[in-house]
Structure 1
Amino acid sequence: MSTTEENRPEGLRARKRRRTENAIESSAVHLALELGVEHVTVDAICERADISRSTFFNYFPSRDDAIVGRAIEIPDGEAAFSVLDCTPEDLPLGLFRLLFAAIGHRNVNADLARDRMRLVSEQYEAGRLMMISILESGHQLGTVATAWLRARPEHAKLDSPERESALALALVHGAMTAKMTEWTAASGDVSAEESDFLRIVDDFRVLLG
């Protein structure tokens, strides 16, 4: 991925879509904080966000996905391989790029992230739902990484593609968790920069000696 591609300005349609998505998620999270996850309905989210039910389901398949974040649909096959092929000697970086390629942008709403973290800390059910979403996305990434290593054995660093994929994915997850602490201390939209990911990976190396 070139620097030009990374920093290309977001189009008007994409910005409008992201604003609507943020409004839906923010409404869902705030309702969950006020009422409890189990008492939130799609109709209540729509009323709070001032949207129709059809608009809601254009963005989210379910109420739970709006509250804790939906699992990310990771591309597979050649679409995924083309991303991983750009960093053949650095699978964790490739997975980081693939994750945000699937999302479609690198913007993180810090206020929403902070509210979600509060929700998860206060309500067990929210944490359970979020973990399911994270595990589903992680399973997709791991499956793609394993398939890529089998198709590109010359780039494998370990004897087991499954083990190498799992370790690379753990590193990405750890870096994202570390970065979340910084994001939740900000406000508004922040960007998931590749340079931040690489900095955190370097910190891992320092810890490992």
Structure 2
Amino acid sequence: MMNNDEILLDDKDKKFVRRHWRMLAVIAVFFSVAAIAGLYVLLWFIATAQVAGFIPAMLGQWTIGYVINFILHLIFWELLLVASWVIVIVAIIFTQWYNKLPEEERGSKSKRGKRDGSNAFSFLVGLTWLIVVWLDGNWNLALESWTLNTWVYSCLAALAWDLLIFGIPIALGIIWWIRKDSLE
């Protein structure tokens, strides 16, 4: 939700955009080309992986092992075929552009908006869920044979393990902090 009291672009930012609109247009076009290239690599990898038998064509036959293997290989191909040239070109263009900026524009720091919060805990629960699935022996079990109970209980087990591992030390720290303040 956007705060109506905050100005999206102040006068300094508007002046910067007016002065460097060509470079911003180049960045937008380059971002679009890189996104399209990434999409083509994704579609190519999906088709190739199915034809080669690397992944099953039917989603119900997928296992968590297939999902993780697919994601890791996709990241590899995206890095190799897209990110390798994108990073080099972005570094060259940005360095050339930055060196041409006036000194007063180089030192200005961009303001960043407040973040509503991170998703670190959700990410941690997701990783723990993968570990729970592996430990339960469901790693290579086709997803079509999973029951709703299997999925819900594995999610609750992951949440419980994270709360147990991190909740107890946090609770002890809070108790210690409250007790320390009450003694003073």
TM range (shorter): under 0.3
TM-score under structure 1 length normalisation: 0.24
Higher relative contact order (CA 8 A, sep 6+): 2
TM-score under structure 2 length normalisation: 0.26
Structure with max Cα Rg: 2
